[in-house]
Structure 1
């Protein structure tokens, strides 16, 4: 059974959360991306809370700016290190050591998963990333790959000052193509049902400014049309490494995040497993939840 609660952290942020499993059990945390919310993880929360799949305490927060979580107006409040801090403080609210046994993260959630793995590896057992680019390989591809530059062009639209108003217009007319363009409708995988649409509407009705602020604040965006590729500050290698065992699940039909982002990933993540998923898209958690769960099950088992 899924429980819901709001938790106010020491940094003043309140996160609305969904959870399953008994408090005090080893902690699994699930981080969603754009334009999603914590509810996408419900099937996995219940799966991993079950005794036969580890009996974990499973918690999925809505990131700051999403659903009923705190949504600061300032763009600077969405810097990556602040959302990583949210994750660390949420974990500390669940157990005194602030330890996360397994962190599962998708899309923007993965950005903060990579960051948590780098900054707090001593408090993390293992990391699972689902179609979320590592900042080192993403910066490289935005600099050097015309294909990835074109695939990421939507980021500049989402960073516009009027993006949230445009996205909300006409019953979110510009939002649904993020899903339908990758076979979410009845002619494809069929997961975008009227019920699921209503779940998304409820989330988006709470506001989209926080979500768009993630795109406004990040320096990792492609050039605007007709502009030269911007130079990107090269971070020290030790700010990008993740030492914990890491599974990357990569759906190969993701139109926004291309497979070239996997090249060279082992330079940053020495304990790396990559599972490439043919025929799946960016929304693989919706498309194949049982497969995703089984891959994570197997990864946990072999990295105990």
Structure 2
């Protein structure tokens, strides 16, 4: 795969964007999650580049993109604004395919809800719809337990702890969600380099701090979350929607998919056996083949 990179001025921030495929081919924008960067999609990009123009930005706070100071700068409206600016540059006149994993899925959902006419197809790989995830956190004890790490990442001392011993805890976090056979020494070195970028650790952690998600402690009784008070039609994704779900995900449990069809009337769910939360690394050809079939029909 021949990669090229562009720096996109999104107004408040500059985004580093990896590109593959012919510029005039149908556009697919791929959004990574935590604690990754654009290369989370690298193997999938390589498999799609013959048919599509694939763009994978470092989202704000990550790797070589801007890292604005302050938690407020990582609210979802700003993350969606970054994507909207990039999409308007790369595909100003026609809808495009939007794909997201983990936190990238959250941005993809938010953009698809705000700009449904701009998204021809929505692909989510082990990511969650915000209403479905919030309900799972409030109502399902297993998902609540699985998400307790969020409190650790929101803590004031998270940067100090995660950077100790050459990012030992961040490495362990990746490896803790699966066997992580893909996470070899070369990839660990590349990821450490992204985490060492000035301001990157705080920028990436601010995604968690800025999120309105309510994550109750185990056994805590709480029935309120702001998002559940909002009209459900605000969270609709009317375009064709594919969810690719690694069945061995230990961070996001299958309960997170319950009720998704209420928001996505054109939903397809493809479960992938033998894949974890890191499905993009473990099964990139499976992900790419499923995306190609879904997009091209």
Tell me which residue corresponds to 2:186: 195
SS at match of 1:199: helix
Equivalent of 1:128, from 123, 134, 141?
A: 123
Aligned CA RMSD, in angstroms, stands at 1.5
| Matched residue count | 292
SS at match of 1:261: helix
Structure 1 CA distance for aligned equivalents of residues 108 and 95 of structure 2: 11
Listed as ranges, the matches of 1:56-71 within 5 Å are: 56-71=52-67
1:214 lines up with 2:207 in the alignment:
yes
**1:4 Cα deviation (Å)?**
1.7
Equivalent of 1:240, from 228, 235, 238?
A: 235
SS at match of 1:175: helix
Structure 2 CA distance for aligned equivalents of residues 229 and 283 of structure 1: 31
TM-score by length of 1: 0.92
Structure 1 CA distance for aligned equivalents of residues 41 and 92 of structure 2: 25
Unaligned runs of 5+ in 2: none
Structure 2 CA distance for aligned equivalents of residues 110 and 42 of structure 1: 17
Tell me which residue corresponds to 2:27: 27
Structure 2 CA distance for aligned equivalents of residues 298 and 154 of structure 1: 35
Structure 2 CA distance for aligned equivalents of residues 229 and 279 of structure 1: 35
Tell me which residue corresponds to 1:86: 82
**1:253 Cα deviation (Å)?**
1.1
**1:227 Cα deviation (Å)?**
5.1
TM-score by length of 2: 0.94
Structure 1 CA distance for aligned equivalents of residues 142 and 160 of structure 2: 29
Tell me which residue corresponds to 1:46: 46
Structure 2 CA distance for aligned equivalents of residues 39 and 104 of structure 1: 14
Q: Residues 242 and 269 of structure 2 are in contact (CA less than 8 Å); yes or no, is this contact kept in structure 1? A: yes
Alpha carbons of structure 1 residues 211 and 100: separation in structure 2 relative to 1, 3 Å = farther
**1:100 Cα deviation (Å)?**
4.3
Q: Residues 214 and 225 of structure 2 are in contact (CA less than 8 Å); yes or no, is this contact kept in structure 1? A: no
Structure 1 CA distance for aligned equivalents of residues 128 and 178 of structure 2: 21
Q: Residues 155 and 221 of structure 1 are in contact (CA less than 8 Å); yes or no, is this contact kept in structure 2? A: no
Equivalent of 2:278, from 274, 277, 283?
A: 283
Alpha carbons of structure 1 residues 33 and 100: separation in structure 2 relative to 1, 3 Å = farther
Unaligned runs of 5+ in 1: none
Q: Residues 24 and 95 of structure 1 are in contact (CA less than 8 Å); yes or no, is this contact kept in structure 2? A: no
